[in-house]
Amino acid sequence: MHRFYAPSLDPGDETIVLPRDESEHLARVLRLTSGDTVSVFDGRGREFLASVIAIERTGARLQLLRPIEPVREPVVSLTLAQSILKGDKMDDVVRDAVMLGAAALQPIVSRRTETTVAALLRGARVERWRRVALASAKQARRATLPEVRLPLKFEDYLNEPPPSLRLMLIEPSLSLEATAIGSLRSVPTPPDAALLVGPEGGWTDEEVALAKGRGMVPVSLGHRTLRADAAPVAAISILQFLWGEF
């Protein structure tokens, strides 16, 4: 069944009008018409079965039929704080993190990131990542749309209010300073957590020391070096397993 994002959805309404992009996708791409059944979700955890009433100038109008039990969200609200990667690799990281259940994504500009916060905002990269996140949430049947936040410098991120558990994934060359991620099975499951992952060039020694001084726990995936866009996927998968999601 096709799913559509309706951020203004109100369970008390009998009908809704989809946003322009969603309406165009429904009518022009999927060529759905009056009487077709779809589902709509508001990005805040609610989903409804709906029927297309009409395609109007203001957008596709749908009738809400009944609530749908959404896919359960992970027990741990996990934020992926990812240093910006080169090219389109960030698109893949956003897509996969949302698919695996991340609650939010925080882009980070670290010492070895080859861009700046200003350049990211000028290039509308955040808007693109938000579109990727929406598409992934649809595919994964999530009714909650993860937040893609505005990018922060590494030092500014460390000044943000911390969650219950903050992990810093570091490369094998620094593994003597890190705890094996699997050892977290002996740690009580936190209500929320953050996973900080570096860019292609890895973290500097100064960044690791600064993060540890702010209470971050360095963790390692083992002796093999993973691609920068594969490391967060592997780490999130392991954490979700340790926290009972798989």
Element containing residue 230 per DSSP (H, E): none
1 has which bridge partners?
Answer: none
- 3-class SS of residue 15: strand
In the chain, CATH 2.40.240.20 sits at 3-68
89-100 vs 125-139: helix axis angle to the nearest 10? 40
H or E element at residue 147? strand 147-148
Q: How far apart are CA 108 and CA 104, in angstroms?
A: 13
Residues 197, 231 contacting (CB under 8 angstroms): yes
Q: How confident is the model over 9-19, as pLDDT tens digits?
A: 988 889 999 99
Q: What does pTM read for this prediction?
A: 0.92
Confidence of residue 148 (pLDDT cuts 50, 70, 90): very high
Q: In terms of C-beta distances under 8 Å and separation of at least 24 residues, what long-range contacts does 47-51 make, across chains too?
A: 47/3, 47/143, 48/9, 48/11, 50/16
Please tell me the CATH code under which domain 77-242 is placed.
Answer: 3.40.1280.10
Report pLDDT digits (tens) over 166-219: 999 998 776 557 788 988 998 899 999 999 999 998 899 899 999 999 999 999
CATH number for the domain formed by residue range(s) 3-68:
2.40.240.20
In the chain, where does the domain assigned CATH 3.40.1280.10 lie? 77-242
pLDDT tens figures, 39-76: 999 999 999 999 999 998 889 999 999 999 989 999 99
